[in-house]
């Protein structure tokens, strides 16, 4: 999954609450990884799960809490 930074073409902005940001930064620091890499890795895993559990499949997608939405 590791991609060379030179392949990254788009920059996006999204919002986190203070606790989410703090936990994300703490995790990234403890693992010695950039926050952006952690976010890309999680996004890639989520999108891969969508392919497996998406509408094309008869399987049920694991539940995801969308607090506040």
On whether residue 29 sits in a domain, the answer given is: yes
Q: What is the mean pLDDT of residues 58-68?
A: 60
On whether residue 63 sits in a domain, the answer given is: no
C-alpha to C-alpha distance for 52 and 59, rounded to whole angstroms: 8
Size (the chain), residues: 69
On whether residue 68 sits in a domain, the answer given is: no
C-alpha to C-alpha distance for 62 and 40, rounded to whole angstroms: 20
Sequence-distant (6+) residues with CB within 8 A of 24 are: 16, 35, 38, 39
pTM: 0.66
Q: Name the average pLDDT for the chain.
A: 83
Query: What confidence tens digit (pLDDT) does each residue in 18-29 have?
Result: 999 999 999 999
On whether residue 60 sits in a domain, the answer given is: no
By the 8 A CB rule, do 41 and 53 touch?
Answer: no
Among 16, 14, 13, 12, smallest CA distance to 68 is for 16
**Structural domain tally of the chain?**
1
């Amino acid at each position: 999954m590791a991609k060379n930074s030179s392949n990254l073409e788009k920059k996006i902005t999204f919002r986190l609450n203070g606790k989410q940001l703090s936990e994300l930064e703490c995790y990234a620091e403890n693992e010695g990884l950039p926050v952006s890499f952690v976010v890309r890795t999680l996004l890639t895993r989520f999108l891969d799960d969508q392919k497996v559990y998406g509408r094309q499949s008869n399987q049920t997608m694991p539940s995801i809490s969308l607090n506040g939405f």
